[in-house]
Structure 1
Amino acid sequence: MAATATATTLLTLSFFFFTLVNSHQSDPDPQSSPECANRWIHIRNLPPQFNLDLLSTCSLFPLFDDFCPHLPNHGLGHKTHNNTRSWFRTDPFMLELIFHRRMLEYPCLTPNPSAADAVYLPYYAGLDSLRYLYDPNYYNFSSHHGLNIYQFLNHHENSPDIWNRNNGHDHFFVASRPAWDLSQPLSNDPPVWGTSLLELPEFYNVTVLTFESRAYPWQEVAIPYPTSFHPPNTALLDSWVSRVRQSRRTTLMLFAGGGGVSASPNIRRSIRMECDNSTGDGGGDGLYTSLCDFVDCSNGICEHDPIKFMRPMLQSTFCLQPPGDTPTRRSTFDGILAGCIPVFFEEQSARKQYEWHLPEAQFGDFSVFIPKEDVVFKGLRILDVLLGIPRGEVRRMREKVVELIPRVMYRKHGSSLGLRSKKDAFDIAVEGTLERIKSRLQEVSVH
């Protein structure tokens, strides 16, 4: 049954992508489309081995979750319940598929690569990495990840002309994995965890959109993890924002996540210990019925069930966002959707990541930063820091968080014209990419 459903999904996607990409691209006409000046994008027609064929491997990696259930609705996944129009069981690793579907609705597409300001590669780099990460037959060949598509771009028919025109500086693609998973040094022998896609000199000029970028600037830029909220129209977005604003915040701080059970000192352990010890603790002048709430999301039980954590987030003033295996968390964006003020413990968790969506200069307006070293090794209580923030400032911070909601969500494909007038995470990512490519091309022309 699952195999049949997957095959049907793939056939539907294949037909849809083929018809839409060929019907929506038009030749640039500056006079009839002034709004597209400097915004034209060409979508490369890649063989399905680089995108849709990769979806057919959704159940082939036993060490990685079967992602077949997450393919419906062009990567948004199944609805959380039958009556909803905005909430889906979205898996963040489907961002490549979600982004591809949204690119086909981009208003300034052109079939002429020479007239384009940027070239989008619908290459599912993160899904392509799974065989190197989880298939024992490919472990020792992780340095090969990306070489096949480079060969295609540089040698197939007229591809060299498109690629060599700017040596890849005008190309971009999405990789729905942290950059660390794709930046293993080519010199590692034997290989360790990860592939070497971002270490290949062939891709140094390409802009890569990832969940999490490395600490030093290179070719990748971080964009938000997709959450489960994908409204199709303005009314549903406004309704959710209204609910967020009216929600009673009876809990001071919330941690939704796992970990923190080891004996070794770390920030998650400190958070859990402080939360456990906060029962009956006074503070807040009676404003809160609970100072700390903990939602145990161990073993991925919350990943595709937003009800488990969204309701507690709606009831909390602050959402703690400690680093885990890597600095960033999808929970950061879940919390923002709930109007829950994020509390960060590392600069790399967000301030140094999402430069387009969460401007660094405004971070103090909508978030709190507490160095994890002060908590873990110096005994600083998170509760004391948060209780010390004046109520008026808390209200201003929450309003700033609510204003961020449209910027960090990915609206549903095929959404209403009214909602399309509001820039969402996709729009801001494309806009930032175009500006980045323009800047890099100007630098190249000067040198």
Structure 2
Amino acid sequence: MWSSFSTLITGNIIHVCFSTRKIDNLYCLSAGTHPSFEIPTSTNNNSSTITPGIDQGNATAEPVNFPYTPHPVTAASRLVIDDTDERVANAVKVVEEQLQVHRSWRSKSNKNYATCDGNGIYVYDLPSKFNKDLDFCSYLSNEGLGEPIAKLGKGWYKTHQYSLELIFHSRVLRHPCRVSDETVAKLFYVPFYGGLDILRWHFKNVSNDVKDSLSLELVKLLELDKMQNPIKLLIERQPWHVNDIGIPHPTNFHPHSDNDIVSWQLKIIRSNRKNLVSFAGAARANAEDNTRSALINQCTSLGDGKCHFMNCSSVKCGEAESVIELFVESEFCLQPPGDSCIPVLFDPFTAYYQYPWHLPHDHDKYSVFMDKKELTQMNVVERLANISLRERENMRRYIVYELLPGLVYGNYNAEPDKFHDAFAITMNNLLERVSLLEQPHKD
């Protein structure tokens, strides 16, 4: 995985701002100067070599002044884990407790947008080098959605899996609660495209100083006493930081209206599932575990057509049409870490502990879990074949009718009425969190 990035951060006043996460290092762009949890740092990352502040020679806006944050979020105790069962069990316990806290912040509003009374959202105008200048390919056109996919019809785009920063920025600019006066705002959005900044330096011959330079410039601004402990929303959260909330990757589907969603629901619920199992991916030679290789070997060794393997090392899996067609024609889709039917998961941290606002606690309703440690002692396809047709139908209907609308991001001018997309769910929950912070504390 190249990188993961935060798209929004909240507070009341808890600011909305971005963080970036690399495969071996979490980039928390602001945890304050005295955070209550530790941020993992790379020993190769020498931040003292970076000049603090924004280079006003290239700036297109004035320096950012952040208002005071009177209600910092208390982070959970940091937990160091190793490979022992006891440590892992303790880590899981902490994560599950945190998810309960996250779910308590869910908005109870049945409207697409929560009321804006006293809940203004302010968008900072950063120098373009922090956002627009990082928008450098066709995947990011149409305000992050990418180029349309005519073959798939209305609402389908060649969306890059790390384009969520652009999509969120575009949607926040159009949010009905957006205000031009920061003194009446409760959420503050800092549009730094940290994920795209990492992607442009995704080469082995680039030093960490070069890779991290732009991120660290913004860090200097966000490491203010006024910016302690914001809540970070990331496509992949650090699982034992209560301040990190996972939100879904963008898909290729960006509906404009309720009708777009209903049309797609009807199409996929009626689709002919000719494959029992499918797996689109490629082996990772340098991976610490061999989950992918084990799945590929099991899938390709059957020879009875039950498992369809799309080899992404030889086929352009970047072409959304082929992958979507495969998944729509499959009962189950194998989902090891790093991939995008009914998902079969092999690690609880890939979904169950990531998305408390977008996925329910009862994961048996929409997925099948198999511990990756047991792959060598079982046949995945045979276990899936033993799941009854009624169970498959129930899971598929739950996914299509209950989960799907909240896992996709509408287009930049989406006007849904009945359904809440992933963006609306996230924003409403952020505003709900602000309201909870403003309530008097009971002794």
Q: Does 1:246 align with 2:270?
A: yes
8 Å Cα contact 1:89/1:306 also seen in 2: yes
Q: Does 1:46 align with 2:105?
A: no
> What is the match of residue 383 of structure 1?
381
Question: Which of residues 137, 145, 157 in structure 2 aligns to 1:88?
Answer: 157
SS of 2:374's equivalent in the other structure is: helix
Distance, in Å, in 2 between the alignment partners of 1:78 and 1:246 is 27
Q: TM-score, normalised by structure 1?
A: 0.67
> What is the match of residue 250 of structure 2?
226
Which residue type is aligned with residue 432 of structure 2?
E
Write the mapping of 1:236-385 to structure 2, written as runs, cut at 5 A: 236-259=260-283, 266-280=290-304, 290-298=305-313, 301-303=316-318, 305-324=319-338, 329=339, 331=340, 340-359=341-360, 361-376=361-376, 379-385=377-383
Distance, in Å, in 2 between the alignment partners of 1:278 and 1:299 is 20
Which residue type is aligned with residue 350 of structure 1?
A
Distance, in Å, in 2 between the alignment partners of 1:351 and 1:252 is 23
> What is the match of residue 104 of structure 1?
173
Question: Which of residues 413, 427, 431 in structure 2 aligns to 1:430?
Answer: 427
Q: Where do 5+ consecutive residues of structure 2 fail to align?
A: 1-60, 62-112
Shift of 1:409: 0.7
SS of 1:146's equivalent in the other structure is: helix
Which residue type is aligned with residue 434 of structure 1?
L
Q: TM-score, normalised by structure 2?
A: 0.67
Which residue type is aligned with residue 97 of structure 1?
L
Write the mapping of 1:375-414 to structure 2, written as runs, cut at 5 A: 375-376=375-376, 379-403=377-401, 404-414=403-413
Shift of 1:432: 2.7
8 Å Cα contact 2:278/2:326 also seen in 1: yes
Q: Does 1:215 align with 2:239?
A: yes
> What is the match of residue 46 of structure 2?
none
SS of 1:73's equivalent in the other structure is: coil
Which residue type is aligned with residue 320 of structure 2?
P
Which residue type is aligned with residue 291 of structure 1?
K
Distance, in Å, in 2 between the alignment partners of 1:37 and 1:143 is 39
Shift of 1:148: 2.2
Deviation per CA, 1:34-71: give whole Å up to 9, x if none: 9213532111222222211233xx3xxxxxxxxx1223
Distance, in Å, in 1 between the alignment partners of 2:293 and 2:286 is 7
8 Å Cα contact 2:276/2:332 also seen in 1: yes
Of 209-218 and 259-268, more deviation after overlay is shown by 259-268
Shift of 1:72: 1.5
> What is the match of residue 9 of structure 1?
none
SS of 2:227's equivalent in the other structure is: coil
> What is the match of residue 129 of structure 1?
198
Distance, in Å, in 1 between the alignment partners of 2:427 and 2:178 is 12
Q: Where do 5+ consecutive residues of structure 1 fail to align?
A: 1-17, 19-32, 59-67, 155-162, 170-204, 281-289, 332-339
Summarize the Cα distance change of 1:275–1:133 in structure 2 as closer, same or farther, 3 Å threshold.
closer
Shift of 1:422: 1.7
Shift of 1:254: 0.8
Which residue type is aligned with residue 362 of structure 1?
D
Deviation per CA, 1:232-279: give whole Å up to 9, x if none: 222222111111010111211111111167899622112111112222
SS of 1:75's equivalent in the other structure is: coil
Distance, in Å, in 2 between the alignment partners of 1:371 and 1:224 is 22
Summarize the Cα distance change of 1:104–1:253 in structure 2 as closer, same or farther, 3 Å threshold.
same
Distance, in Å, in 2 between the alignment partners of 1:141 and 1:347 is 34
Distance, in Å, in 1 between the alignment partners of 2:240 and 2:437 is 17
Shift of 1:152: 4.6
Which residue type is aligned with residue 140 of structure 2?
L
Distance, in Å, in 1 between the alignment partners of 2:266 and 2:236 is 30
Shift of 1:436: 4.0
Shift of 1:136: 5.1
Distance, in Å, in 2 between the alignment partners of 1:144 and 1:208 is 21
Which residue type is aligned with residue 40 of structure 1?
G
* Structure with larger RCO (C-alpha < 8 A, sep 6+): 2
Q: Does 1:36 align with 2:119?
A: no
More helix by share: 1
Summarize the Cα distance change of 1:262–1:144 in structure 2 as closer, same or farther, 3 Å threshold.
closer
SS of 1:317's equivalent in the other structure is: strand
Report % sequence identity.
32
RMSD: 3.1
